[in-house]
Amino acid sequence: MALRYIVQDGDPILKKVCRPVTKFDDRLATLLDDMKETLADANGYGLAGPQVGVMRRVFISIDERDIPEGQEDTAPLKFIEFVNPEILEESDEMVTLYEGCLSFPGRNGEIARPKWVKARAFDRYGNPFEIEAEGMLARCICHESNHLDGITIMDLATHFYEDDEEEEN
Ligand code: NI
């Protein structure tokens, strides 16, 4: 495994639409393993292919689903891999929160996301799966799916605050 460079604000890669993964091979496995290491190192929650310069429809998220409440900081890290993901359904009910992105460090954008989503994707071996998610994971699935279409928090946020600023009202 190896750390990969995380593409930063201003790089046109972040605005491009990614192509589907067509080969579920060792190269994909290496990419996913590297992305996990990179995400853990950056202390993030999700990471998409284009953020490491790979223009393919793939992202990962932290998986906290089986961790008892309050133990998120000490439990071993688990991940969910999404290859060629598709959001199938989403709730009408929206939740508005500030969210960040590893490609825009220090910036937090206020974005309304569906409270609940149902998505379909493939794992690294090409097996399809479906997942229903709420809370942070639902937000992450939406955020990372947007990355695959060249859409970032800079396009979606109605308001920003910087990490070193007091939140404005
Ligand atoms: Ni992001």
pLDDT grade for 31, boundaries at 50, 70 and 90: very high
Q: Report angle CA 153, 97, 88 to the nearest 5 degrees.
A: 70
Q: What does the pLDDT average to over 99-128?
A: 97
Task: Report the separation in Å between the CA atom of 71 and the middle of ligand 1, taken as the mean of its atom positions.
Answer: 25
pLDDT grade for 43, boundaries at 50, 70 and 90: very high
Cα separation, 7 vs 12, in Å, equals 9
State pLDDT tens for residues 85-98: 999 999 999 999 99
Q: CB–CB of 32/63 below 8 Å?
A: no
Q: CB–CB of 142/115 below 8 Å?
A: no
**What pLDDT score was predicted for residue 72?**
77
Catalytic positions, please? 144
pLDDT grade for 161, boundaries at 50, 70 and 90: confident
pTM (2 d.p.): 0.93
pLDDT grade for 165, boundaries at 50, 70 and 90: low
Task: Report the separation in Å between the CA atom of 126 and the middle of ligand 1, taken as the mean of its atom positions.
Answer: 24
